[in-house]
Amino acid sequence: MNKSKCLLSRFHRYMLDRDQKMHKKGTLFCILSGGLIGLALAIMMPATTTLQTQSTQWGVSFWGWMIVLASVALLASVFSFLGTKLSYTAGLGFMKNMQTIAGNKVARLPLGWFQADSAGKLSRMVTQEMISTGQTAAFFIGQLLKNASAVVVFCIATWFWNWQLGMLLTLAIPVLFLLMKISQICVGKGNSLEEPAEQEIASRVVEFAKCQGALRACHVGADYEELKDSFVNSKKQSVRGLWWSALGQVLSGMGVQMLVAGMITFVSLLGLAGDMGALETVIMIGVTLRFTTLLNDIVSSLFGMEDRRQMLNALDEVVDTAEMPSVTKTKGNTKNSDVSLNQVTFAYVKDKPVIRNISFTVPANKMFAIVGPSGCGKTTIIKLIARFYDVNGGNICIGDIDLRDFTTEDLFKQVSFVFQDVYLFNDSLKNNILMAKPDTSERELNEIADLAGVTEMIQRLPDGWNTLCGEGGRALSGGERQRVSIARALLKHAPIVLFDEATSALDAENETNIVRSIETLRKRSTLIVVAHKLETIQMADEIIVLNKEGYIAEVGSHEKLLAKNGAYKEFWDKRNASSQWKLA
């Protein structure tokens, strides 16, 4: 990603070809309009001379110059209208296509990319920031080039009328633009300080809304320190950013005012020396002030565009995020649903592996449980099998095919998930389950509901199958969401099912339903479970014990591992002892 790349080309990156062509035409019309505006200002010089002297200038009388001025002004208005119309149409196309590009990219990103701050970042990107960035494409770029064109044409024309004034402008413009560049850097520095803090606020607000239940349970529902800290930090960074932006505006404003003061002084000296008449001098001062307006508009447009650079940087960051290597067709046919990990190593942070040299094979239609201390990589293994991430070393195969040789569609036909953090859509209970297999018959759906314990929910809830689950499933309890998630897995009939913490923190009724569902799943699927409940662990055909360094410490059945009197025995004794705890 090249953050210093020309903003115009960066905007065109997110436009369709037709919108690019339209925007280029609009930009051209804006440049032509600006050139004519600069020419109109220049025409005022010979026009006032002819009015003052009652003679001709370059063979044209005062009224002749007025006709030329009116024609130029009319043509400038037509070009300005066409430029504005085309630029705004292209700007709207830019916003639409930018959302499409961002959406398509998000759909192709590795699932591991989606972290806690993703929601806030994406929300800002496709809502209010999108509108502001579209405004830059539709308005600021055209305005900047139009005003710049007017300034250039006026400077060139001034040489033909008065070479001293032309030289003054020619020498002053580079100095002015140098100051503007410095100002742009200052404003960019200010924006770079503010943007991360704004993204942090967006993420914390989303988190604050999603975690109200937990926050209120801890008596911090309205006193969330992380959110307060993000506001305090945002204020601090905003003040720092404001100082940088103020410095930039002072420098640019100073440059403009110095140039204007020099021009007015020079024109006044020409008038006092008799090189200009009184009327010429007054009108030239007026033209100078109009010229000042053009310069100020250039500065405003530059600042407006600079404000959007951070948004483009954020969008570039998403669009340029490396996608997982993918194939267009699965290489080979899966003969069975064995899952094998071969010398697998993986690190979220470079040189800090979470799991190391993990090797095991889960035969088809067998149940393996993964246990170990917190942070040892249990969930990581599940995510790697689901290809949320690619392994750093070794490989993972389903049957005899490497995960990386599956198309995404074919891989997810093989695998179903039941995660601890179950997400349900704000739709009916029935539709949330049918997502796994939309063409399911009523009979099959009811059978699955019985197995997963959803039938009891349907009978209890007032709207039955039509009960809305709420955003993220918040209208249901944690155990009820687990039941719906398991119903999806049962309905999908996937050859491989991955459970992550599926039996933790549940009441007796929900746990009974889940254990019964596991019994059903293990008869027809390869089942890999990250579990803490003793009953679930005992059900496994084989148990993989990880140590805190991310290595496999032991592998075997429940009875064999207990007999070894090793890491698993210690784990089992601790779990068994804690299960006997009671509140006194």
pLDDT values of the chain reduced to their tens digit, one per residue, 584 residues? 445 456 777 888 888 889 989 999 999 999 999 999 989 888 887 787 787 777 777 778 888 888 988 999 999 999 999 999 999 899 888 888 888 887 788 777 777 677 656 665 666 666 667 777 787 788 888 888 998 899 889 888 888 877 777 787 777 777 777 777 777 777 777 767 766 666 677 666 666 666 665 555 555 555 666 777 777 777 777 777 777 777 777 777 777 777 777 777 877 887 777 776 677 777 777 777 777 778 778 877 777 777 677 777 777 877 787 777 778 888 877 778 899 999 999 998 888 899 999 999 999 889 999 998 888 889 899 999 988 888 999 999 998 899 989 988 888 888 988 877 777 888 898 999 998 888 888 999 898 888 888 888 888 888 889 988 887 777 887 778 888 888 888 888 889 999 876 544 556 666 777 778 788 888 888 999 987 777 778 889 999 999 989 999 999 999 999 999 888 888 888 877 766 555 44
Among residues 339, 325, 344, 352, the alpha carbon closest in space to that of 393 is found at: 344
Find tokens 């704000």 and name the residue.
Answer: 426
CA–CA gap between residue 268 and residue 277 (Å, rounded): 10
Same domain, 405 and 299: no
The residues, any chain, with a CB within 8 Å of residue 226's CB and separated by 6 or more, are 204, 207
Q: Containing H/E element for 148?
A: helix 141-161
CA–CA gap between residue 572 and residue 570 (Å, rounded): 5
Q: Containing H/E element for 486?
A: helix 478-492
Q: Tell me if 83 is assigned to some domain.
A: yes
Max intra-chain CA distance, the chain: 117
Decide which of 290, 319, 348 is a domain's last residue.
319
The CATH number given to whatever domain includes residue 384 is 3.40.50.300
Q: What are 563's strand-pairing partners?
A: none
The token pair at 333 is 């046919």
Q: Tell me if 436 is assigned to some domain.
A: yes
CA 488 to chain centre: 29
pLDDT at 29: 95
Same domain, 314 and 371: no
pLDDT at 503: 46
Q: How many residues does the chain have?
A: 584
Decide which of 259, 289, 319 is a domain's last residue.
319
pLDDT at 264: 79
Q: Tell me if 334 is assigned to some domain.
A: no
Same domain, 298 and 422: no
Verdict on whether the full-model pTM lies above 0.75: no
Same domain, 397 and 287: no
Same domain, 173 and 108: yes
The residues, any chain, with a CB within 8 Å of residue 484's CB and separated by 6 or more, are 422, 424, 429, 432, 433, 452, 454, 469, 473, 476
C-alpha dihedral sign at 119, 123, 129, 133: positive
Among residues 323, 328, 389, 325, the alpha carbon closest in space to that of 353 is found at: 389
Does residue 548 contact residue 376 with C-beta atoms inside 8 Å? Answer: yes
Decide which of 284, 319, 354 is a domain's last residue.
319
Q: Tell me if 32 is assigned to some domain.
A: yes
Q: Containing H/E element for 414?
A: helix 408-414
Q: Looking at the 3D structure of the chain, how many domains does it have?
A: 2
Same domain, 392 and 476: yes
Same domain, 189 and 221: yes
Which residue segment(s) compose the domain that 189 sits in? 7-319
Q: Tell me if 2 is assigned to some domain.
A: no
Q: What is the pLDDT of residues 63-77, one digit of tens each?
A: 888 898 899 999 999
The CATH number given to whatever domain includes residue 197 is 1.20.1560.10
Same domain, 315 and 389: no
CA–CA gap between residue 425 and residue 209 (Å, rounded): 16
Q: Tell me if 1 is assigned to some domain.
A: no
Same domain, 373 and 301: no
The token pair at 350 is 């470079």
Same domain, 354 and 313: no
Same domain, 257 and 129: yes
Does residue 280 contact residue 49 with C-beta atoms inside 8 Å? Answer: yes
DSSP-derived letter for residue 136 is I
CA–CA gap between residue 416 and residue 112 (Å, rounded): 17
pLDDT at 583: 44
Same domain, 314 and 362: no
pLDDT at 584: 46
Q: Tell me if 326 is assigned to some domain.
A: no
Q: Tell me if 330 is assigned to some domain.
A: no
DSSP-derived letter for residue 527 is E
